[in-house]
Amino acid sequence: MADSYYDPKDLRKFGKITEWSENLGTKFFDYYGEVFKEGALTAREKSLIALAVAHTEKCPYCIDAYTKDGLQKGITKEEMMEAVHVGAAIKSGAALVHGVQMMNKHDKLSM
């Protein structure tokens, strides 16, 4: 057992999830593989979306995986950083838009 919650080497073991529940694990990885195939969106576009979401989800495994995936696909660091900002902007926007709720409540409670 590692003495920290996140070990980069654990990412290599992700596939082993299937060993404890073959049916669900296989279904998940089939689905996952299908999602990232070239479709209405290119595999390149999907990789950038995944990178942005990896950041908003604060998933260190996903950040490692999709930074590497981006490099493999020839995505530049400028493109990667813009994608991260898209995620960050949505995160901050999601916080800030609640300000409207605050304004609504404030006005309702105030004379």
Partner 1 sequence: MATKSLQAKGEDLAIANKQLEILNGGIFADGELPYFKDNIAKIGHFPLRPKKLEILQINVGYMCNQVCEHCHVDAGPDRKEIMTRETMQQCLEVIKNTGAHTLDLTGGAPEMNPDFRWFVEEAAKAGIKDFIVRSNLTIIRANKKYYDLPDFFKKHNVHVISSMPHYTRGKTDKQRGDGVFDKSIKALQELNERGYGMPGSDLRLDLVYNPSGAYLPGDQMALQADFKKALKEDFNIDFHNLFAITNLPIARFLDYLIASENYEDYMYALVEAYNPSTVANVMCTNTISISWDGWLYDCDFNQMLDLKVASKVKHIKDYNEDILNDRNIIISQHCYGCTAGSGSSCQGTVA
Determine which residue in the list 6, 10, 12, 22 makes contact with partner 1, applying CB under 8 A: 12
Determine which residue in the list 22, 30, 38, 57 makes contact with partner 1, applying CB under 8 A: 38
Angle between helices 43-56 and 77-96 (to 10 degrees): 50
Determine which residue in the list 26, 76, 92, 104 makes contact with partner 1, applying CB under 8 A: 76
Residue whose pair of structure tokens reads 């969106």 in the numeric block: 41
Nearer to partner 1, 73 or 91 (CB): 73
Structure tokens at 109: 């409670």
From the list 50-58, 68-76, 82-90, 103-111, the region that binds partner 1 by CB under 8 A is 68-76
Q: What are phi and psi of 80, to 5 degrees?
A: -60, -45
Rg, C-alpha atoms of the chain: 19
Q: Does 27 bind partner 1 (CB under 8 A)?
A: no
Q: CA 35 to CA 52: how far, in whole Å?
A: 16
Q: Does 44 bind partner 1 (CB under 8 A)?
A: yes
By the criterion CB under 8 A, which residues form the site for partner 1? Answer: 12, 38, 42-44, 68, 71-74, 76
